[in-house]
Structure formats: structure tokens, C-alpha cells
Structure 1
Amino acid sequence: MLFGVTMPTLPPGRRPLSPGSRAGLGAALVLLAVVSAVELADGPRAHFVGLLAAVPFLAAVFAFWQTVLVAGVLATVVGTIFVGSDSAQGMAGPVTIAGIILATGIAATVATIRQRQADRIVELQKLAAVAQQAVLRDVGPRVGALAVAGRYISATAAADIGGDLYEALDTPYGVRIIIGDVRGKGLDAVRLASIVLGSYRHVAYERADLKMMVADLDRAVARSVGDEDFVTAALVEERGGTLTIVNCGHPAPLLLRRGQVIPLEPPSPAPPLGFMPEVKVRVERLEPGDRLLLFTDGLGEARREGEFFPTADRAWRLLGHGTVGDGLASLEAALVDWVHGRLEDDIALVLLEYAGPDDGPTVPMPSWEVGAAGS
């Protein structure tokens, strides 16, 4: 008679069970079958019926409250069958069945609370995605004379945003790009990243001198953080085939040229934004086909079994083919494979390609770049 109990079917028009509900109901049915098998093997006395109270709680781990009620009803029916077949139960039998019913109610409540929390997390993830779009706007595919692609790789599966930042703008002074990394994590890092990007999007159009831009950004950071907070950043400017870089404590960009990978280290080190950096510019003449990789230190710190990802050694093979978007996709795939999918820190990547001088109006070169370019 036990196996005559059948599963209730969904009424017409009802949606099928979710994967979580199917998993919860399946686990509950397995436990129900195990307890039933033990009872049948034990003989006519109902010694283990009380264990059926665990059936709805097991379903509540994964399933919606409706599925928990189904599991609880099945447990109650099966328990009633076993108790009814044991005449020696007395008052213990009804008390046991009442306990199963009470457990079903509690489990359904737990499942409801869990589902509300899960729905809340989903909403927060949607808000994080909207915040990311507001903070990190899409760049490219072309900005001025440069093909540009950006990529943000989150170390946390549940969050797509952090303290890494980038932006590319076509300004009256040429194409300007920033990449940066905020010290710390969480909402404070996101807030400071948004402040830096907001300031950058303003001063990039107002300041002809990258050094003045650095001073403006440093003041914006200093007004918004504590004594131990800072932002590493690299600012890049391309105008008329001349590349100008200022670096504030950030990893040096990599220039990819004719199969070679050249780190563009600054003439002298400078502290991050927030510590009043005194920067010196580095100037390079670009050649058609040159590519430039900007990245945050999460790339340099990615490792497996103590061995760091060989960025410089593999950069040309990974980044020197297809479009700049293809190159970043290859780099990300190789990186994730290297660390077996477990990154320690978020990573921001920007890849640029110089196609050659465009036919637009000539942007005058600043005096300090003229001297540096000729040396």
C-alpha cells in the first residue's frame, strides 16, 4: 500500500518546477524512500516514522514553499500509513503525525524566507550591473585613430564590479585613456572609482597638460579618501601618432610591435593618486599596427601553484591577432585557464591599436612632447 501513493500532478497551465525545486523534491523523495524501506524491513512496528519530519526540511534547502508542502504532505501520508498499521502506537502515533505536520509548516516558512533572500540577492546583482554600466561605460570599437577594446574580469562570481576602472575619450587634445585600480574592495572602492572617472571625464576635455590632469585627479582622490587610501593610475594620450604616458604607481603598459613586447616604464617612479604624485612623461612614436595593453595589477598577480601568469612572454601570441576585442578574449581565456578559474583580484584590461595617421584635423603637439619625441 505504500507504493500506491502517487505524486500529485501540476494542473494545466502551471509552470514546470524550477531546477532548485526539482532538486529539493528529489532529495526529499529519496529520504522518504529510505525511511520507508527501513520501516518495512523493521517489521510491523513503526519505530522510525519520526524521521519523516526531516523530509520537508530537506526539500526547504532547495525548493519553493509550494514544493516543501508537497513533500510534507507525502511524508504525512506515508507516516499515517505506517502509524495506522501499528496498533501498539497509542497516543504516540498521532503525536508523531502532528510533529510531521508542524515540521512541514516550519520548513515552508523557512523556504519562503530563503526565497525572499535569494530574490533580494538577484535584485542587488541587477543593481550592480546597472552601476557597472554607469561607472564603466563601453569603450570602442574606435576612438579617434585608435581601435579600442576594454574588458573587466571580476574575481567574484556574484559581483561584476569593483575598484578597477578605465575610460577612453576623444578630446580636443587627442585620444586620452585612463586605467586605474582603487585600493581596497567593496562599495567604498566602487564609490572612489566613480569619483575618479567622473573627475577624469571632466578634466580630460579641459586640460591640455597631462600633468595638470594628474594634479586635478589627485585632489579629487585626496578629498574623498582616508590617509591610507589611494588609486594607482596610468594616463595615456595619443595625438598625431605620438603616445604620451604618465604613470602614478601603476603597472607599466606593454607596447606590442612587430612581434616584440616592450614595457613602457616611466622615466622615474611616482606615487599613486592621493599622495601628490610628481610625474614625468614618457613619449613614444607610434607605428601603424602597434598595439598597447593597459592592465591593472590583478593580471600581474594571477598565479597558480606560486607561478605567475607570464604576461610579457605570451602577450604577442595572445594579443597580436584579429581585432583588439579578439585579443582580449584570448588573453582572458588563457588567464582563466592558467588560474583554473580562481582569480585573487579583479582585472581591468584595455587594448589599443594604432592604425596610422587619420585624415582629421591636426592636433598641435605640446612643447614638452616635441623635445621628448626627438630625443
Structure 2
Amino acid sequence: MLVAVRIPLVLSGGRPLSPGFRAGLGAAFVLLFLISAVELADGREARFVGLMATVPFLAAVFAPWQAVLLAGGVATAVGTVFAFFGMSQDDLSAFINVIGIGLATGIAALVAVVRQRQAERIAELAKLATIAQQAVLRPLGPKVGTLAVAGRYISATAAADIGGDLYEALDTPYGVRMIIGDVRGKGLDAVRTASIVLGSYRHVAFERADLRAIVADLDRAVARSVGDEDFVTACLVEERGGTLTIVNCGHPAPILIRRGEVITLDPPSPAPPLGFMPVVRSRVERLEPGDRLLLLTDGLAEARRDGEFFPITERAWKLLGHGTVGDGLASVESALLEWVHNRLDDDIALILMEYAGPSQPTLAPVPSWELGATN
């Protein structure tokens, strides 16, 4: 017996069927066809009708309850036909199996309802996680002050773009100020700490003339909000009139790209992360038109394949020295994912800025607190 079933392409009201709906029905009808073929090949007596109870359960794996009922109804009808033609006077087991198909259809429909509700809940949680991440990490650029700036967050988890990496760029009275950081740990606790750091930074960046005072404020905010063993690595950067000032709290050093040369801007002396009362010394650099600066988290610095680290320093010019700053970050992400075969161990935050040159013929003076900062 061959049973042809036409699956409509749209639901009532013109709403297209979901891929799960089509997959569930397709798999269920393929299984029903195979069982029917075996039943036909076995002869007149109905021996395999009971196997049709698996049809609605297979549909429940992929499809919503409506598709389960449809598949189960068709399986029940087909089983009834087999039972009727294969029934003997003293054997009603085939019709008992048909009743079993009906009961299985009802149970499978309930399973599909529970599965669908759980899937919707997980989707809602993922959506809320994405919203939380976006609230913490606001989009950057394409211009902040006089600088071209782009930011990028690369999640190590495909299911959720959420983690403890953070970045921000602000146009303040003291110049364009940027921060990039990494909270110890993952998940919502890390996002909470990142939001505390960024909330404090977005306030004090406009209030403090000295980056070292900002570090002290952020350190107190972290110390009040995390455990004794938790911390936040961070790098703060200020561009003012072509002068670049960097303070580093246990974070990977920024990378300066200048005329094909790649320079790692290590701090004058190491300092512990935020939460451990860092005493920082600033590094001051004079920018040239066309200079680009990459701020990164250790997810990029420590990405590896077969024990070999991603050669960001060696490839920085080729990846970051072309197009817009957004193009450069896209190139880095593409090359990195290819290097690690799409398997990241840690989230990554990136900022790329480009200095176009002074807007006035005369450069702004270096702030007094920055003079002698490297001493």
C-alpha cells in the first residue's frame, strides 16, 4: 500500500511552515512509508502495525504539536487500513495496535508542547542575554571626536554573545578616551562586573583630568563589587592633540601600526589588574597621521592552533592596514576564525582607531599631568 500525503507549504492564514514543521512531517512520513512497505512485503497478516506508534514520536522531535497530530492521524488511518485487511476472526491484536498508535499520538503531542515551550524559553533567555550584552557594550564609531573608531566583540560561544570583555570610547573635555578590559570569569556575573566598570568609567572619564585618577576610581568600584579573588584587567587610552597616553592594569599591550611597522606599546612597568590597587605609570607616544592603534583582550593574544598562538603582531599590518577601521577588524576576525578552525576558547573584544592628523596647523599642548609621566 502506498500512501501519498501532500504537505501544504503554508499554514492557514498564509503563514509559512517553519523548517522544524517541515522536517518533522517529512521524517515522520518517510518512516511511515518504510513501515508500510515492510508490512506490504510481509504478506496479508498485519504484523508491524504497532511500529507506526513511533511515527508521531519522530515528528515530536522536530515539529510542533500540530504536526505531531497530523502525522499521528495519518499513521492511525494507515494502521487501521492494514488492521482491517489483515484481521483474522480470532486475532484483534492489530486493532489493539491501532489504539496504541492513537495513544502514542496524544503522548507525542504533549511531548512536543513541552519541548516547544522549553525551546521558546531558551530563545527568550538568549535574547535577553544579547540585550544585556548590547546594553553593556554600546556600538562604537564610526567617529569619536576626531578619530575613526570601530569596536568588535567576538563570542567564543555560538549560543550566546555574552561575556566579561568590555570596551568604550568617549569624546571628553580631555580628549578621546578609550578603555578595554576583561573581567575574570564568564556568564552573568562577569557581565554584571563589566557593567559596573563601564558605568563608573562613563562617569569619571568626564570628571578626572588624570588617567591615573580614573584607574583609582575604577579600582575602588571593582573592589566593592567583586570577591577577593576576582579582578578586571584594563587598558586606558587617551588621545589629545596627537598625543597618545596609555595606562595599563595587567592587560595585553595595545599595538600601534605605523607605515607598515608594528609596535607593541608595553607599559613602562607592570601593574596589577583593577581590584588589586594598581599603581600605574603612563606611556606617552606622539601620533603621526595615518597611525592606527589596536586595543585587544587576551582572547586574541592567547588564541592558538595546535599549541601555536595566532600571529597577530606579524600579521597586524596586512590585516589592519587597509580600508576603514571596521574593515580591519572584520579582517582580523575572519583570519582568526580560520586560524582556530572556528573554535575559540575565550571571548574577544577589539577596538581599532585611526588618527587622521591635527585638525589645526598647531598641535594642542600636552596636558601638564602627562609631562614626565614615563619617569
> Please, what TM-score do these two structures have when normalized by structure 1?
0.95
Provide the residue aligned with 1:210 in structure 2: 211
Provide the residue aligned with 2:84 in structure 1: 84
2:107 paired with 1:115: no
Provide the residue aligned with 1:64 in structure 2: 64
Q: Letter of the aligned partner of 1:65 in structure 2?
A: W
Deviation at 1:363, TM superposition (A): 5.8
Long gaps (5+) in structure 1 = none
2:275 paired with 1:313: no
CA 36–230 in structure 1, closer or farther in 2 if over 3 Å, else same: same
SS of 1:226's partner is: coil
- Spell out the pairing of 1:219-234 with structure 2 (5 A cutoff): 219-234=220-235
Provide the residue aligned with 1:35 in structure 2: 35
- Spell out the pairing of 1:1-375 with structure 2 (5 A cutoff): 2-4=1-3, 6-7=5-6, 9=8, 13-88=13-88, 90-359=91-360, 365-372=366-373
Q: Letter of the aligned partner of 1:3 in structure 2?
A: L
CA 239–6 in structure 1, closer or farther in 2 if over 3 Å, else same: closer
> Please, what TM-score do these two structures have when normalized by structure 2?
0.95
- Return the alpha-carbon distance in structure 2 between the equivalents of residues 56 and 361 of structure 1: 78
Deviations 1:301-343 (A, max 9, x none): 2222222211001000000011111111111111111112121
- Return the alpha-carbon distance in structure 2 between the equivalents of residues 11 and 128 of structure 1: 31
CA 267–104 in structure 1, closer or farther in 2 if over 3 Å, else same: same
Percent of matched pairs sharing the same residue: 74
- Return the alpha-carbon distance in structure 1 between the equivalents of residues 341 and 190 of structure 2: 26
Deviations 1:9-47 (A, max 9, x none): 567644232111111111111111111111111111222
CA 4–342 in structure 1, closer or farther in 2 if over 3 Å, else same: closer
Q: Letter of the aligned partner of 2:238 in structure 1?
A: E
Indicate the larger mover: 148-157 or 84-93: 84-93
SS of 2:2's partner is: helix
CA 179–8 in structure 1, closer or farther in 2 if over 3 Å, else same: closer
Q: Letter of the aligned partner of 1:6 in structure 2?
A: V
Indicate the larger mover: 252-261 or 111-120: 111-120
Q: Letter of the aligned partner of 2:116 in structure 1?
A: Q
| 2:281–2:373 Cα contact (<8 Å) kept | no
Q: Letter of the aligned partner of 2:31 in structure 1?
A: L
- Return the alpha-carbon distance in structure 1 between the equivalents of residues 270 and 57 of structure 2: 60
| 1:164–1:296 Cα contact (<8 Å) kept | yes
- Return the alpha-carbon distance in structure 1 between the equivalents of residues 258 and 34 of structure 2: 67
Q: Letter of the aligned partner of 1:71 in structure 2?
A: A
CA 284–32 in structure 1, closer or farther in 2 if over 3 Å, else same: same
Deviations 1:223-260 (A, max 9, x none): 00011111000000111111110100100000001101
Long gaps (5+) in structure 2 = none
| 1:28–1:58 Cα contact (<8 Å) kept | yes
SS of 1:371's partner is: coil
- Return the alpha-carbon distance in structure 2 between the equivalents of residues 137 and 363 of structure 1: 29
- Return the alpha-carbon distance in structure 2 between the equivalents of residues 232 and 211 of structure 1: 15
Indicate the larger mover: 358-367 or 220-229: 358-367
SS of 1:352's partner is: strand
Indicate the larger mover: 153-162 or 236-245: 153-162
- Return the alpha-carbon distance in structure 2 between the equivalents of residues 318 and 12 of structure 1: 51
| 1:165–1:197 Cα contact (<8 Å) kept | yes
Deviations 1:190-230 (A, max 9, x none): 00000000000011011111111101000000100011111
Q: Letter of the aligned partner of 1:37 in structure 2?
A: A
Q: Letter of the aligned partner of 1:350 in structure 2?
A: I
- Return the alpha-carbon distance in structure 2 between the equivalents of residues 6 and 350 of structure 1: 55
- Return the alpha-carbon distance in structure 1 between the equivalents of residues 16 and 202 of structure 2: 49
Cα RMSD over matched residues? 1.9
| 1:173–1:363 Cα contact (<8 Å) kept | no
- Return the alpha-carbon distance in structure 1 between the equivalents of residues 342 and 194 of structure 2: 25
Deviation at 1:116, TM superposition (A): 1.4
Matched positions, count: 373
- Return the alpha-carbon distance in structure 2 between the equivalents of residues 158 and 24 of structure 1: 23
CA 242–12 in structure 1, closer or farther in 2 if over 3 Å, else same: closer
- Return the alpha-carbon distance in structure 1 between the equivalents of residues 12 and 136 of structure 2: 46
- Return the alpha-carbon distance in structure 2 between the equivalents of residues 12 and 83 of structure 1: 33
- Return the alpha-carbon distance in structure 2 between the equivalents of residues 367 and 6 of structure 1: 82
